[in-house]
Structure 1
Amino acid sequence: MAKVSIMQRVKAQLNQLPPGALVGYADFVQEPGQFAAVAAALSRLSKAGEIIRFAKGQYYRPHLSRFGTVPPSDQAVLAVVGATTGQLVPYATGISVYNRLGLTTQVPAVVTLASTRRRRNLPRRLRTVVRPALEQASDVPLLQWLEVLRDVRRIPDTSPDRVVTRVAKELRLLTPAARRRLVALASQQTPPRGRALLGALLENIPNKKGAAALRQTLNPLTTYRLGISAKVLPNRAAWHIQ
């Protein structure tokens, strides 16, 4: 197939895609022998400003807002990274999650991805934090709430009191089975400050069994300075939270 035909095919398919969708060579042709022609076409379109290079072999058609070029969605980025990292289900952590949960209005310039090890050569808009291997996809929402507890003092444009109030509401909406799973996940991979905070919140629901299980994992002599008021967390002293 002539290069001009490849270019026509590439442009036609790009025009049918929503802005922000990530595409690679295999999205245009199936024969590896034609990848070089597709790569050349995408490179020319990138230089012309019609598409933007996101990573090696990955491009997207930009969408312009009054704030500038809108990058690909987190979901699109994670789908691509998941294919390259081999994780069961790559999941976002950090500010992008806190924004989606309504905890902050800040929009991150970088998406943080949980990974079993730090990874290099990722797209510049992506970084990784080390977390245990994901066991099942249904754990992702629970793990993201545990990330909230882990970062309760570091979430921008809010306060620990506001975050804790929101988490308390979320915990009350969980089924008993989901709460049990949350406690199990917290016991396995959440730092002590997050386990103490979750235990105090569960105790107030009340979920005495879950709270007791978490208390057993804590050092009774450790104090956790989280900046949470007694008004929001009345039992904070019993959990050595300040």
Structure 2
Amino acid sequence: MTYLSATIQEQIKAIPDDTSFGYGQLTIPARQYQSAAKVLERLQKKGLIRKLSKGIFYKPKKTIFGEKKPGEEQILKPYLYRDSQRIAYITGTYLYNQMGLTTQVPAIIQIASRDRRIFINRGTIQATAVKSYVDVSEDNYRLLGLLDALKDMKDIADLDLQAAIEIVTNQIRQLTKGELTEIVGYALKYPPRVRALLGAILSVMGKAAIAKILKESLNPLTVFKLGINDRLLPSAPEWNIQ
């Protein structure tokens, strides 16, 4: 067995079953991709891995019903990374469905990235690109997803506003002090309505001091018509949210 073959097999052993991966998840130099392709082809013939699409593979998970194929998130995972670094994340209706904000399931998934436009058309999986407001990393993509939900709150299909505010507020409550500081910083890159809604939620949580910079970034004469009153969010009036 060659060194490259042994290296690839050891790395694949460490990948959990039912998990997709691409060349970027294998720590091999690009100049060896052609040789690596032959190794991966042999592993496919042995049934150790399966091919999802060009350059994308997975380790099959055995069940009593046969082999289980990875779900959408696992299939998309290799597209969200470059050189093992996260550069994109799933957003839009698919994310909001996962958050419990809507029952809608999109036919086309949205993938947000700062510097890369990602389009996918692989069988039943279709994805289109949207622009991220900031650079994406493993540490911040969940925070950006929360901000996206605030940004789209008014336009999410099949949305119960009261339940949505409770869901997002509960997720923000779970953030650490450092993460709260980070999400406020990222919010400054988002549209004013996002800053206002995040500020109102933080105020309800007793985090007015952290929200102060958001208040200072807003035009005091701007009114945000989001269909949210003080019954849904007690601090809405002080943030000019209606």
Same fold (TM > 0.5): yes
- Contact preservation (8 Å) 2:110, 2:128: yes
Give the C-alpha shift of residue 202 in structure 1.
Answer: 0.8
- Specify which of 86, 102, 117 is matched with residue 88 of structure 1: 86
CA distance in 2 between counterparts of 1:120 and 1:170 reads 28
- Contact preservation (8 Å) 1:150, 1:193: yes
Scaled by the length of structure 1, the TM-score of the pair is 0.69
Deviations 1:186-212 (A, max 9, x none): 11x221001000111111111111221
Structure-2 residue corresponding to 1:229: 229
- Contact preservation (8 Å) 1:112, 1:127: yes
CA distance in 2 between counterparts of 1:175 and 1:121 reads 34
CA shift in 2, pair 1:120/1:76, >3 Å: closer
- Contact preservation (8 Å) 1:93, 1:112: yes
- Contact preservation (8 Å) 1:60, 1:72: no
Larger Rg: 1
CA shift in 2, pair 1:18/1:205, >3 Å: closer
Deviations 1:126-176 (A, max 9, x none): 111111443642212211111110111122222222211222222222222
CA distance in 2 between counterparts of 1:154 and 1:195 reads 17
Structure-1 residue corresponding to 2:157: 156
Gaps of 5+ in 2: 1-15, 27-31, 43-49, 61-68
Gaps of 5+ in 1: 1-16, 42-50, 63-69
Partner secondary structure for residue 138 of structure 1 = coil
Structure 1 vs Structure 2: percent identity of aligned residues? Answer: 33
- Contact preservation (8 Å) 2:114, 2:134: yes
CA distance in 2 between counterparts of 1:93 and 1:61 reads 26
Partner secondary structure for residue 101 of structure 2 = coil
Scaled by the length of structure 2, the TM-score of the pair is 0.69
Structure-2 residue corresponding to 1:14: none
CA distance in 1 between counterparts of 2:91 and 2:206 reads 28
CA distance in 1 between counterparts of 2:108 and 2:181 reads 32
CA distance in 2 between counterparts of 1:213 and 1:93 reads 26
- Cα RMSD of the aligned pairs, angstroms, is 4.2
- Contact preservation (8 Å) 2:102, 2:159: yes
CA distance in 2 between counterparts of 1:102 and 1:120 reads 25
- Contact preservation (8 Å) 1:39, 1:57: no
The answer to which structure has the higher strand fraction is 2
CA shift in 2, pair 1:39/1:173, >3 Å: closer
CA distance in 1 between counterparts of 2:235 and 2:34 reads 66
Aligned length: 221
- Contact preservation (8 Å) 1:78, 1:90: no
